[in-house]
Structure 1
């Protein structure tokens, strides 16, 4: 029997009945699962909004691109274009006891991970790049802490440091043993000087005590560490140290981990490595909240302005701040001036300098390894202000790392919270800044692979540009990256796509190393970087 079509009136009644039934179903869902439904709806809306072209042009975009499967504690951008992720035992007592130490290489282009044999526990070591691009890593974990009452004497015993020292060779992709440190170190800071020597300070020693000012220098020519009896300076662990234009080391006052709360050891200032003199730098707002803070040298490095970012109280207090402060190291009497506050308080903020001279500040937590702050902002040095960036999908706090990639994006790794289920974050998330959605990018057609300080060089660009920057690759751990800096190459002449550029002469400003050379057009859009070696 043929089925006759429903009359228009009947069809309308059927549609209304179905809509009412669906509406009743939704009402039941919302009443019974209100928070989940609202969250689901908000997440869908946020995903739609964050992928709109106009939103990305003003805020950028975050994408989870991979899972490294690695508890990365340290990350370094290599001149081969790969990223070294070092975990060692990864803050895991079981892995430490089993001597399961891990390092992986991430290839951002192929998005692949390769395991690297790791001969010691690199967990919580220090690192710095040598002039040839090798990464020097020193220190590590000799023994995990014992918490009372588990320890035999009922007292807490701190982590203990190692004297181990290795180079990571980006070409062979292998660790190479060097001479050992003179002093065992856990949570140390390493800085490469203009001479090519590397200074190591601070850390917990082989007994778990804070180093009492022992300073040593590494020579790549001899592959050995030399104790410096005349250079003694006590710092808290992982002190934020930057090479200043006059050759002194600037201690911003920021640090991570351990150290006495006394003013002397946490006083910001400029340390002279020729005579051990220390010039205090005062004016830091809320100086009692300088632990787990970030430090970054603003662009261009020629201006010698350093930014102090957020931070918290000493130890495991939940107190945190949103303040920033800026100091001009070229001033005859450098002194911090308060900068703009961020949108919320943070400990462990991630800070990365971008090719357009702005700074991405992201992640962190609102307390001591507490709730992750899934908020990102952009600092604009020309107006001394923050603007909102797209919010990351993954929260990051303790043991997280932030690196600028050669394509102008920022890759983020790690996170080791104490809250929730204490799951170590192994996903890799990448931030694409807003400048990547503002039209065609200029291209570096040609650039010399090696440049000499004090010289003039020629770079060919596909578009007219307004600025050229040499950005040193980062080596990040525990809110500390001692070498990240962006050095301007002044444009002397620009004709038919050929740029004549002046290379700064000061090796304290432009230490020998591999750099990413970016050209940026008038719309603030940078090129993909060309790797060049400064020597």
Structure 2
């Protein structure tokens, strides 16, 4: 069915989604708690619109805050007493169905077992429509649950809030809450859920510290080619979520290539509007139109090169189905140039749907001598030369691996040319994923790399995401064992951590909801990981996940379960923190540390993050001080131009909050 979506358009999409909704009305990880005997209170209500209406099973009756004879001002809350404590993992709110006045926008959800001590499990902003809003979070215990509205969704300055129905979810409503124990912090911890007014199918970390996330022409549906992209800005420092519709570039940026250039601009190419290119400027917070590609593409990959240009290849999901050889974008001249010697044919998988899927989501790694290494997802690997008209040279096979579409590939040590490849499935959809993992070690450019089969993951994963951490370990999040877009079946809920030092995998805490097709994950400057999204399949589709969640890896906790103290990088020299490859960098810390590393700012869509990579740094301390001197790698194919996060890691393995470093062109 999915292979026909582009041919038959939106009607086909909605028919598919209606069928999906008919067969998937429940959430296997969460069940509604029976509401008999519950009581409900609120800070305010209008006579005739009492709080108890949210528990009467009638969507025509509502709770509404007071508006006459006087207006009760925001914020507003409504609070349920379930009469005993449950293990809870979700909350749903149905907006009023006879209008939109009072739809909740910015909000928090808090839990309590005694009505006095509260813990926040959700914050964010809801989409302004009449669909039921669901917020899932990590398992906790609660007798009371409260939602507090800070704004009305319309953003018009109105002061009222309203609600038709309210439900609370549990993984098992009959479980005794007294027996509940959260996972040990040795497995890490999933923290607060962040509700978004879009399903985030793409995300990138801005050099300002904001995370920019986007969906397509609608917050909840991909289809498109309409010249509009719905976006969200999340500021981790202020915890604010703001929404923006980007129309000025006339670019629906669903399923694009994403690369971050030397100035930290996002170069977003193709997708639903398959030839267009847009640039996001973090300094101004604005999107601007760039030159169109020579070839229309969607589901292609792109990567920033050692010389600052951006290389892209493949992308037959959109813009026609044929062999789409390489082209290169130069941000300095705003021009695209074909490099037809970089051929698509050698990188194709043997997908059952042919080239429509076979050239999707290439695993690309810019490397030495201004080359690009293609690690997969086909079992055949290749080297691309991007000078002149381009070259292609075969690099052997990925050991005994099969094609691994929608698997993960992460360069966790760029100095040694080490890449982890894991998961994926032989066909894009309707095929079983693998647990297999491999280490690829690059040597000389154009030579076959060394491929080593590793211990397998605990869970088979297609549509998952891999994130390199400051200590060189790799976190893998989400995915499903049987690859079917727009489903949450066979999910891999526990995260896993690969340790290159031991070659072993460790199972970690489970994320609150499945993160499968159209999910994202990014390393953040505080050494946590943002993961979320999944779906984008239309109004009311239960596989739409309008949220992200932050993971605190195990290295952020002490042995007794408390938060570990993170080292602090007090200063960096040069103060401008803008250096060229081979330069000397000095960092002063607040205590002795064991190592430093640079991790490049990342972007994420459809399992692809070609921007991230890690560079370990050898550091020497001045005698009797905590001032460390490091020499950056001199090869710009290792230390790509752009913005990086500098981390210090102490002897206990705890990383600092990062300092931002810009690597300039040689």
Q: What's the TM-score bracket when you normalise by the shorter of the two chains?
A: 0.7 to 0.9
SS in structure 2 opposite 1:435?
helix
Deviation at 1:283, TM superposition (A): 4.2
Number of the residue aligned with 2:416: 303
Number of the residue aligned with 2:604: 476
Q: 2:333 aligns with which of 205, 217, 222?
A: 222
Deviation at 1:204, TM superposition (A): 2.1
- Separation of aligned partners in 1, 2:523 and 2:236: 12
SS in structure 1 opposite 2:342?
strand
Between stretches 37-46 and 340-349, larger displacement belongs to 37-46
Answer yes or no: is 1:183 the counterpart of 2:295: yes
- Asked if structure 2 preserves the Cα contact closer than 8 Å seen for 1:307 and 1:325, the reply is yes
Taking a change above 3 Å as real, the CA distance of residues 47 and 177 of structure 1, as seen in their structure-2 partners, is: farther
Report the TM-score, using the length of structure 2 for normalisation.
0.66
Answer yes or no: is 1:67 the counterpart of 2:190: no
- Asked if structure 2 preserves the Cα contact closer than 8 Å seen for 1:230 and 1:276, the reply is yes
Deviation at 1:337, TM superposition (A): 1.6
Answer yes or no: is 1:337 the counterpart of 2:452: yes
Number of the residue aligned with 1:442: 567
Q: Equivalences for 1:369-448 in 2 at 5 Å?
A: 369=484, 370-416=489-535, 422-438=542-558, 439-448=564-573
Q: 2:653 aligns with which of 500, 505, 524?
A: 524
Between stretches 185-194 and 363-372, larger displacement belongs to 363-372
Deviation at 1:246, TM superposition (A): 4.4
Taking a change above 3 Å as real, the CA distance of residues 47 and 183 of structure 1, as seen in their structure-2 partners, is: farther
Tell me how large the CA RMSD over aligned residues is. 2.5
Deviation digits for residues 166-201 of structure 1 (CA, Å, limit 9, x no counterpart): 100111111011111111111111111000011121
Larger proportion of strand:
2
- Separation of aligned partners in 1, 2:598 and 2:222: 42
Q: Equivalences for 1:42-441 in 2 at 5 Å?
A: 44=177, 48-50=181-183, 55-56=184-185, 58-89=186-217, 96=224, 101-119=229-247, 120-142=251-273, 162-204=274-316, 207-210=319-322, 212-234=323-345, 235=347, 236-254=359-377, 267-274=380-387, 276-288=391-403, 290-298=404-412, 300-330=413-443, 333-369=448-484, 370-416=489-535, 422-438=542-558, 439-441=564-566
Deviation at 1:421, TM superposition (A): 5.0
Deviation at 1:317, TM superposition (A): 2.1
Q: Equivalences for 1:447-458 in 2 at 5 Å?
A: 447-448=572-573, 449-458=577-586
SS in structure 1 opposite 2:520?
strand
- Separation of aligned partners in 2, 1:380 and 1:46: 33
How many residue pairs are counted as aligned between the two chains? Answer: 464
Which consecutive unaligned segments of at least 5 residues does structure 2 have? 1-83, 85-168, 348-358, 559-563
Taking a change above 3 Å as real, the CA distance of residues 473 and 46 of structure 1, as seen in their structure-2 partners, is: farther
Taking a change above 3 Å as real, the CA distance of residues 453 and 38 of structure 1, as seen in their structure-2 partners, is: closer
Q: Equivalences for 1:8-23 in 2 at 5 Å?
A: none
- Asked if structure 1 preserves the Cα contact closer than 8 Å seen for 2:199 and 2:220, the reply is no
- Asked if structure 1 preserves the Cα contact closer than 8 Å seen for 2:363 and 2:376, the reply is yes
Deviation at 1:279, TM superposition (A): 2.5
Answer yes or no: is 1:491 the counterpart of 2:619: yes
Between stretches 399-408 and 486-495, larger displacement belongs to 486-495
- Asked if structure 2 preserves the Cα contact closer than 8 Å seen for 1:351 and 1:402, the reply is yes
Number of the residue aligned with 2:161: none
- Asked if structure 2 preserves the Cα contact closer than 8 Å seen for 1:285 and 1:325, the reply is no
- Separation of aligned partners in 2, 1:46 and 1:270: 55
Deviation at 1:240, TM superposition (A): 1.1
SS in structure 2 opposite 1:336?
strand
SS in structure 1 opposite 2:661?
strand
- Asked if structure 1 preserves the Cα contact closer than 8 Å seen for 2:216 and 2:253, the reply is yes
- Separation of aligned partners in 2, 1:474 and 1:38: 33
Deviation at 1:230, TM superposition (A): 3.8
- Asked if structure 1 preserves the Cα contact closer than 8 Å seen for 2:368 and 2:637, the reply is yes
Deviation at 1:39, TM superposition (A): 2.1
Deviation digits for residues 291-336 of structure 1 (CA, Å, limit 9, x no counterpart): 11110112x3211111111111213223111110111112754232
Taking a change above 3 Å as real, the CA distance of residues 402 and 207 of structure 1, as seen in their structure-2 partners, is: closer
Number of the residue aligned with 1:146: none
Taking a change above 3 Å as real, the CA distance of residues 286 and 231 of structure 1, as seen in their structure-2 partners, is: closer
- Asked if structure 2 preserves the Cα contact closer than 8 Å seen for 1:493 and 1:501, the reply is no
Deviation digits for residues 62-111 of structure 1 (CA, Å, limit 9, x no counterpart): 02331012111110011100001011225866983876530111111222
Deviation digits for residues 470-518 of structure 1 (CA, Å, limit 9, x no counterpart): 1101111111111211112211334411111111111000011111110
- Asked if structure 1 preserves the Cα contact closer than 8 Å seen for 2:410 and 2:466, the reply is yes
- Separation of aligned partners in 2, 1:430 and 1:164: 32
- Asked if structure 2 preserves the Cα contact closer than 8 Å seen for 1:72 and 1:90, the reply is no
- Separation of aligned partners in 2, 1:97 and 1:534: 35
Taking a change above 3 Å as real, the CA distance of residues 406 and 97 of structure 1, as seen in their structure-2 partners, is: closer
Between stretches 87-96 and 300-309, larger displacement belongs to 87-96
Number of the residue aligned with 1:12: none
SS in structure 1 opposite 2:505?
strand
- Asked if structure 1 preserves the Cα contact closer than 8 Å seen for 2:215 and 2:222, the reply is no
| Structure of higher RCO (CA pairs closer than 8 Å, 6+ residues apart) | 1
- Separation of aligned partners in 2, 1:47 and 1:85: 35
- Separation of aligned partners in 1, 2:616 and 2:420: 18
Deviation at 1:44, TM superposition (A): 4.3
Number of the residue aligned with 2:629: 500
Number of the residue aligned with 2:136: none
- Asked if structure 1 preserves the Cα contact closer than 8 Å seen for 2:216 and 2:252, the reply is yes
- Separation of aligned partners in 2, 1:441 and 1:296: 25
Deviation at 1:418, TM superposition (A): 8.0
